[in-house]
Amino acid sequence: MTTGTPPAAGSATSGLHATWANWVDEAVRPRVRIARLLPSGGVGLVVFLAVLHFVLGLLPVAFVVATSTLLGEVPAAVGGGVGSPAWDRLTSIFLFAAAAFLLTQILTPVGNAFGQQLRRRVDSALRDDAMALMLRPVGIGPLEDQRTLDELNEAVRAFERDWGTPGQACFGLVALIARYTRLAALVVAIGPAIGWLSGLGVGAAVLAFRYGQRGGLRKYSRVGRDLIGRMREIGYLHELTMTDVAAKEIRVFGLTGWLADRYAAVWEAVRNTFERARRRVYLKPYLVLTALGLLLAGGAMVHAAQLAATGRVSLTALALGVQAVVLAISLGGYYPESDTSTQYAMQSLTALQLLRDRLDELDAGQPPRGRAEVPPGTPAASLTFDRVGFHYPGSDRAVLDGIDLELPAGRCTAVVGVNGAGKTTLVKLLARLYEPTAGAVRADGVDIAEFDPVLWRRQVGVIFQDFVRYELTAVENIALGAAHVPVDRAVVLRAAERAGIAEALLALPDGLDTPLSRAYPGGTDLSGGQWQRIAIARALYALEAGARVLVLDEPTAALDVRAEVAFFDRFVELTRGVTSLLISHRFSSVRRADHIVVVDGGHVVERGSHDELMAAGGHYARLFTLQAKRFAHGLGVEDGGVEDGGVLDGADVVAEGVSR
């Protein structure tokens, strides 16, 4: 014989517990988070709004009481005539009702105005918190994590659309004081007028309506969270078709129809999902709760009519009871100042908390953030990749596998290899955008993870392969290479001159102050090669501001052949005394480097000077010769300088031209 809870009973208890826990997580805790935000809007302002909405909650009830009393006084006032005490009472009650009405009309916009001030204060503080939260990670790994992106998208969506923000929810929460003060006052008014049972029944009916409204909205809003990925796709397609991001390819490849169909299909799928959820969430509960509410409210009205028919209530009590019931029932509907904004703000705050939790989870697998100062002159001896291994988050494939690499201080080290060899990953590790999964990157023997990442990055000037084209002025685009120091226009101009872009910038309508985007008045755009020179100037400006390490990841990818040769002719002068790392897949670009390292499959396979590597006849020599042949052939066809059987000689000419 066994004892214990029967399975059915246990299942019911477990289900009830799960429902309760879910309700607490979705409806209670988010409201507590909103309430905790209120002080950031100013305690004085919050108290003022709370008192104001308490008054706004009572004023309509005062109006109902006054007009009901007014109605009951009419027979006596008419009988007594003008100047009688009854007439004077009627006049006083009328003035009181008018004052309550006028005060409601005056105070409502006042409350809205101060509510917007509360909203702006809270949103400003929370927006700063969200930005600080996303800038907290040392590297960029979290920005490539799917869960992080989902929570970030949900957290910032309200700010992007400027609707349903946490600040708006704070105002909505305070505004509920008026709604529920009014409901409580109406229940109190109905009780003495037509009976407490009627009053409590009407109150219960209103709360049932509100549960259906807010509960349905809460369940309905879950759908949007489940469709974050689809909504992100819609946003991407919208940006793709409505901006200049891909305008050229869309037109050249005839993608307009395809993109329109794709957008329509995704949007239709999202809309259908929402429509099905709306019917599931609202239809049946609406019918049930409406029937219950009408039963309770209708019962109160029928009871009032019976009392009036039997003469058990006065005209004043009857009028008060009927008006109060009608006004109370109107409180069971949708609250535009609170419902939607509060619900979606609760989701935003929940997402923000989940984002914080996810970042904590990702941080748990990382070494502690370094706090040490970077010694002046670092690196004085060398930068070293000490048996460094690395694989990207979510992947088990080793991009770097125990790589050993030394970058002598004050000299240029070039890293070459085919695409996918791991060259750019070295740049990301050196800039601490990622942390090694094995080994360490050291500066003068010290693991750079021990340094404060902000201070370390000030030591590094980087030209990324996918550098950013900021829609800012030319001077700002260059000065962002060292945003921690005041802008020095003379230094900006010197960096532009060294990068070979100064003449083009000074010829712009407003010179260095010209916006580098046609989206702004007086703005212009640059060619790909000119933007590449802006990126080079940005890195050179960082050197002028004190950076000791220069990293160039495919620095001439957008330059033409002659411009590339000219750049590398000046490269030694530009980087004299600087510890520099040059990344390239063009072998001819790196022959003037002090030291060349060949990377393949995450390993260093060769190292030495250009002459040493060519003499060895290995991987470097083979790829250099192959590239030089193709390059020489292409140059010869264009210039008419390659004759039959002259490809090898042409390769030597090109190689020699690069070495000048």
Domain(s) of CATH 3.40.50.300: residues in the chain: 375-459+548-660, 464-544
Q: What is the pLDDT of residue 420?
A: 73
Please compute the mean of the pLDDT values over residues 208-222 and round it to a whole number: 81
Q: Give residue 657's pLDDT band: very low, low, confident or very high (50, 70, 90).
A: very low
Rounded-to-integer distance, Cα 343 and Cα 124, Å: 19
Rounded-to-integer distance, Cα 455 and Cα 650, Å: 47
Please compute the mean of the pLDDT values over residues 281-304 and round it to a whole number: 82
| pLDDT tens-digit map of 12-29 | 677 677 777 777 777 788
Rounded-to-integer distance, Cα 335 and Cα 182, Å: 13
Please compute the mean of the pLDDT values over residues 431-460 and round it to a whole number: 91
- Residue 639 backbone phi and psi in degrees, to 5: -100, -5
pTM of the model: 0.67
| CATH topology assigned to domain 29-363 | ABC transporter transmembrane region fold (1.20.1560)
Q: What is the pLDDT of residue 631?
A: 64
Tokens for 21, please give them: 């826990």
Contact 523, 476 (CB under 8 A): no
| CATH topology assigned to domain 464-544 | Rossmann fold (3.40.50)
Share of the chain above pLDDT 70, in %: 90
Residue 638 above 70 pLDDT?
A: no
Scanning the structure block, which residue is given the tokens 């060292």? 482
Contact 104, 58 (CB under 8 A): no
For residue 133, give Cα distances in angstroms to 127, 137, 156. 10, 8, 12
Please compute the mean of the pLDDT values over residues 447-467 and round it to a whole number: 89
Contact 582, 407 (CB under 8 A): no
Contact 424, 553 (CB under 8 A): yes
Q: Where are the beta strands (DSSP E) in 181-307?
A: none
Helix, strand, coil share of the chain (percent; to 5): 65, 10, 25
| 432-441, 448-457, 629-638, range with the lowest pLDDT | 629-638
| pLDDT tens-digit map of 136-182 | 777 777 777 777 777 777 777 767 666 778 888 899 999 999 999 99
Q: What is the pLDDT of residue 65?
A: 93
Q: What is the pLDDT of residue 250?
A: 83
Residue 651 above 70 pLDDT?
A: no
| 4-18, 360-374, 514-528, range with the lowest pLDDT | 4-18
What's the CA dihedral at 139, 143, 146, 150 to 10 degrees? Answer: 140
Q: Give residue 365's pLDDT band: very low, low, confident or very high (50, 70, 90).
A: low
Q: What is the pLDDT of residue 660?
A: 37
Rounded-to-integer distance, Cα 196 and Cα 188, Å: 8
Q: Which residue has the higher pLDDT, 83 or 579?
A: 579
Q: What angle do CA 582, 588, 594 make, to 5 degrees?
A: 45
Domain(s) of CATH 1.20.1560.10: residues in the chain: 29-363
Q: What is the pLDDT of residue 96?
A: 93
Judge: domain 375-459+548-660, CATH 3.40.50.300.
yes
| pLDDT tens-digit map of 45-61 | 999 999 999 999 999 99
Contact 384, 406 (CB under 8 A): yes
Q: What is the pLDDT of residue 640?
A: 37
Pairing of strands 595-600, 603-608: antiparallel
| 23-32, 55-64, 460-469, range with the lowest pLDDT | 23-32
| 202-211, 419-428, 605-614, range with the lowest pLDDT | 419-428
| pLDDT tens-digit map of 219-275 | 777 777 777 778 878 888 888 887 777 787 888 778 888 888 888 898 898 888 888
Q: Looking at the DSSP assignment, which residues form a beta bridge with residue 460?
A: 549
Q: Give residue 659's pLDDT band: very low, low, confident or very high (50, 70, 90).
A: very low
**3-class secondary-structure state, position 389:** strand
Dihedral sign (CA 416, 418, 422, 428): positive
Residue 572 above 70 pLDDT?
A: no
Contact 590, 416 (CB under 8 A): yes
Q: Minimal CA–CA distance to 200: which of 184, 179, 181?
A: 184
- Residue 272 backbone phi and psi in degrees, to 5: -65, -40
Q: Looking at the DSSP assignment, which residues form a beta bridge with residue 550?
A: 461, 580
Please compute the mean of the pLDDT values over residues 495-516 and round it to a whole number: 93
Q: Give residue 9's pLDDT band: very low, low, confident or very high (50, 70, 90).
A: low
**3-class secondary-structure state, position 298:** helix
Q: In sequence order, what DSSP letters do the residues of 116-185 get, joined into one string?
A: HHHHHHHHHHHHHHHHHHHH-SSSSGGGG-HHHHHHHHHHHHHHHHTSS-HHHHHHHHHHHHHHHHHHHH
Q: Which residue has the higher pLDDT, 99 or 153?
A: 99
Q: Which of 72-76, 214-218, 320-324 has the highest mean pLDDT?
A: 320-324
| pLDDT tens-digit map of 383-410 | 999 999 998 877 778 888 888 989 999 9
